[in-house]
Amino acid sequence: MITHYFKTVQDAELRVLDTIRNGVWTHVVAPSDDELAALGRDFALDEAILEDSKDFFEVPRMERSGGVSYFFTRYPYDEKDEDIDTAPLLIVIGESFVITIAKRPVPQFAPFVNGKVSVVTTQKTKLFINLIGAVTAAFELELVRLRRIVHRNRLKLGRIGPKEIQRLVNYENGLNNMIAALVPTNTWLNQVTNGNFIQLYNEDVELMEDVVIANNQLIESSRSVMKTIQNVRSASEAIMTSRLNATIQTLTIITIILTIPTVVSSLYGMNVPLPFSGDPLAFWLILVAIMALVSGVVYAFKRSEWL
């Protein structure tokens, strides 16, 4: 689906256009081959690069072709069909237009469309910064959510079970996806800040630097939270292993203790002449012997700190 948005400084709200014009922001969601071909013709775009936007696992990068800059990034998305928590986004900056192409809906752009956040499409650099800033803010919210969850799990470390460990692994995978999206994006953001790909005014440079700083902080915070997850997971696995060893040790001690009367009873259950077989006190003597052996074994275990 292709939607053309337009707003100037004088306009009160964002308008939807039927045709393209200078200063337009064209937002494309899940484009068909025909729609991509039409975009290529209408805006004189590199069709090979546009084809890359169809790859759901496209990595963030930047290219320039025919005077047009192409910025691939990824944004947080709750993907059901793929084992990944981000979706690709292509931002195209031309001389008089901005195009965004995504395979999935981009909820981060909703405030721009419904008017909650004001954007001017004719100021393409500021629009570009707003789009990237919205993606960065979405990653920040996701990181805050994951940090709170990890903190709660860390506080109840002794009660973490297999299900909680599986969830921690999923959170770690989400953080890996986040870092994989932020690091290369920040690389080309630094290049954009130098003004080699789009025209930047002084105030634009400051805004771009703020976005770069925010991305750097996100990367470091994501790595910190991922390290915490790894520590929690390792500690919980160590606790579970220790509990398992203690359980096996207890069962082993019980088995050894029960083996003593079992062996003695088995011997005196044989139909052969045995010591004390004719003694009327044989039962009590054997019982005392068993108790003495069991007591000796228990004492030996306590000396060895098994009990």
Q: What Cα–Cα distance (Å) separates residue 171 from each residue in 84, 166, 233?
A: 11, 9, 11
Statement to judge: residues 6 and 121 lie in one domain: yes
Burial label for 99, CB within 10 Å (0-12, 13-18, 19+), is buried
Confidence of residue 209 (pLDDT cuts 50, 70, 90): confident
Instruction: Please indicate, yes or no, whether residues 14 and 93 belong to a single structural domain of this protein.
Output: yes
Q: Verify that 164 and 276 share a domain, yes or no.
A: no
Domain boundary among 240, 261, 295: 240
More confidently predicted of 238 and 103? 103
| pLDDT recorded at residue 292 | 84
> Long-range contacts made by residues 283-290, C-beta under 8 angstroms, separation at least 24?
289/264, 290/260, 290/261, 290/264
Among 213, 240, 267, where does a domain finish? 240
At 102-132, the pLDDT tens digits run: 888 888 888 888 878 888 888 888 888 888 8
Does one domain contain both 226 and 270?
no
Residue 227 has pLDDT above 80, yes or no: yes
Residues 205 and 115 in one domain: yes
Residue 276 has pLDDT above 70, yes or no: no
pLDDT value of position 161: 66
Choosing from 194, 225, 240, the residue where a domain stops is 240
Mean pLDDT, rounded, of the chain: 81
The candidate with the shortest Cα–Cα distance to 88, out of 54, 113, 63, 65, is: 54
Q: What percent of the chain has pLDDT over 70?
A: 90
**Mean pLDDT of all residues in 30-50:** 85
pLDDT above 80: residue 198: no
Band of pLDDT at residue 90, cut at 50, 70 and 90: very high
**How high is the pLDDT of residue 196?**
67
Q: Which pTM was predicted? A: 0.74
- For the chain, what is the HEC assignment? CEEEEECCCCCCCCEEECCCCCCEEEEEECCCHHHHHHHHHHHCCCHHHHHHCCCCCCCCEEEEECCEEEEEEEEECCCCCCCCCEEEEEEEECCCEEEEEECCCCHHHHHHHCCCCCCCCCCHHHHHHHHHHHHHHHHHHHHHHHHHHHHHHHHCHHHCCHHHHHHHHHHHHHHHHHHHHHHHHHHHHHHHHCCCCCCCCHHHHHHHHHHHHHHHHHHHHHHHHHHHHHHHHHHHHHHHHHHHHHHHHHHHHHHHHHHHHHHHHHHCCCCCCCCCCCCCCHHHHHHHHHHHHHHHHHHHHHHCCCC
Are 203 and 272 contained in the same domain?
no
pLDDT at 182: 87
CATH of the domain at 69: 3.30.460.20
CATH number, domain with residue 252: 1.20.58.340
Note down the domain range covering 177: 2-240
Q: Are 47 and 40 a contacting pair, CB within 8 Å?
A: yes
Count of CB atoms situated within 10 Å of the CB of 112: 22
Question: Average of pLDDT values for 216-233?
Answer: 84
- In terms of Cα–Cα distance, which of 252, 245, 247 is closest to 301? 252
Amino acid at 31: P
The count of domains in the chain is 2
Both 136 and 173 in one domain: the answer is yes
Query: Is a pLDDT exceeding 70 seen at residue 160?
Result: no
Query: What local confidence, expressed as pLDDT, does residue 72 receive?
Result: 92
User: Strand 24-29 and strand 15-17: pairing?
Assistant: unpaired
In the predicted structure, residue 167 carries a pLDDT above the cut 70: yes
Identify whether residues 224 and 281 lie together within a single domain.
no
Note whether 212 and 110 are same-domain residues. Answer: yes
**Does residue 224 have a pLDDT over 80?**
yes
Q: Indicate whether 80 and 25 sit together in one domain.
A: yes
Nearest to 2 by CA among 48, 50, 56: 50
The C-alpha atoms of residue 153 and residue 120 are separated, in whole angstroms, by 44
Same domain, 114 and 255: no
Same domain, 24 and 169: yes
pLDDT at 67: 82
Q: Are 207 and 167 in contact (CB under 8 A)?
A: no
